[in-house]
Amino acid sequence: MARWPWWTQVAGLYIAARLVSACIFMAAALHQGVNPWFPAKPDYWNFINIWDARWYAEALQTGYPVLLPTDGAGTVQENTWAFYPLFPILGRVLSGLTGTGPAWSLTAIAMVSGLGAALVAYRIFRHRASHRTALWGTVFLATFPVAAVLQVPYAESLNLLLLGSALLLVMERRYLWAMPVVVLMCLSRPTGVPFAAMMGLLFLYRLWQRFTEQRLKTQQPAKPDLATQHVPTQHRDGVAVHSNAQLWSLGGLTAVSGISALLWPAIAWAVTGDPGAYTKTETAWRGDDLVPFKPWFDAGIMLFGPNLGVLAPFVFVAAFTLLMMSRPVVALGTELRLWCCCYMGYLLVFLHPQTSTFRMLLPLFPLALSAALLSRSRAYRGAVVVMFFLLQIVWIVWLWAWAQLPGGGDYPP
């Protein structure tokens, strides 16, 4: 494959990873017993069209309710407002063009988007590493324990494609081109808030770079030595300083990101007349109201007891901070590191940690390159891939396949 074009190499490796995941799905389906959706031992296509795939299919077919469904006490119940509209809209368009059902259309979009996300991820990684290392980083992404979700009718693959495209355009300073991509990304999954936070911090950082550069320029002697003359187009860290036009474009993208992050909750408000329609729907799966940070402490106490459990979130934050300061992660550059920090911060503030948390770590995909940068050893890199595939088996058998718990229901993937 070394003589093939880069996109052929990436596509070949990604498709191979998805075939392995398909084999794991089919093997798990042979052991699937009684479940809420279909008879035991379903075929592959029925097996991957469960869980949230049914919600996306419902959004495709019936849209979103004007009146929020509530129980006798007036508490909002689970409904399609929790599922962002871009994925089902594209599925409806494809179904209309091809005459196929929702399951096939959504699956096709997910699979094509996953391939596109892998190609974009390689382009991002190539900015920070050699071809071979970037290719290994893409392989790590394609084989990640929850990467099997990229081939099922979930919006993860579409969101990953749009998120990666937005990050690539930001890294290449094509801020105006990134604006429509960010709007679409914010309508695919709830990644708009951390992206807007990243853009705001990045804008302030670039503004500070420009300010310090201008200050150093004014402090230069009238006739500097040519050997030590300061280059005004470069900052002290070796990164080219933004021009006025680039700063204006970056500021515009920051504003667009902030507005787009609130677009779907605003649409839910406008349609239902309830300003909290989106958040009430999201918390319907939790069973309680949204309180920032609290679910992490609750999960810590449940797992480690009343004493160590309170400390667990702080230990986690400290460990993640050390990870962000490690050499392989520093090599990612400002934009990717800032994205990882903002996204993890978003999860800490708003996420209710449970089994779906593993799936929600996919937007941290730049760390796949850090894992590849950790060592050039083929034994290490091959062992990571094997470990990831083994963990895919665990994820699919434990979480995707349905096995009713003693108290009813099952852990969601």
Classify residue 159: in a domain, yes or no.
yes
Is 172 a member of any domain? yes
pLDDT in tens, 230-273: 444 565 555 788 888 999 999 999 999 999 999 999 999 999 99
43 within some domain: yes
Task: State residue 159 phi and psi, 5-degree precision.
Answer: -65, -40
User: pLDDT tens-digit profile of 348-379?
Assistant: 999 989 999 999 999 999 999 999 999 999 99
Asked if residue 322 belongs to a domain, the reply is: no
Q: Which residue has the higher pLDDT, 348 or 210?
A: 348
Q: Find out whether 121 and 17 touch, Cβ atoms under 8 Å.
A: no
Q: Is 169 a member of any domain?
A: yes
The rounded distance, in Å, linking the Cα atoms of 238 and 359 is 36
Assigned domain for 329 exists:
no
Is 363 within 8 Å of 198 (Cβ atoms)?
no
Q: What is the pLDDT of residues 281-340, one digit of tens each?
A: 999 888 777 788 999 999 999 999 988 999 999 999 999 999 999 999 999 999 999 999
Q: How many domains does the chain have?
A: 1
Domain that holds residue 82: 6-220+231-292+368-400
Q: Is residue 346 part of a domain?
A: no
Q: How far apart are CA 81 and CA 76, in angstroms?
A: 11
Neighbouring residues of 387: CB distance < 8 A, sequence distance ≥ 6 = none
**Count of alpha carbons within 13 Å of 90, Cβ hemisphere only?**
19
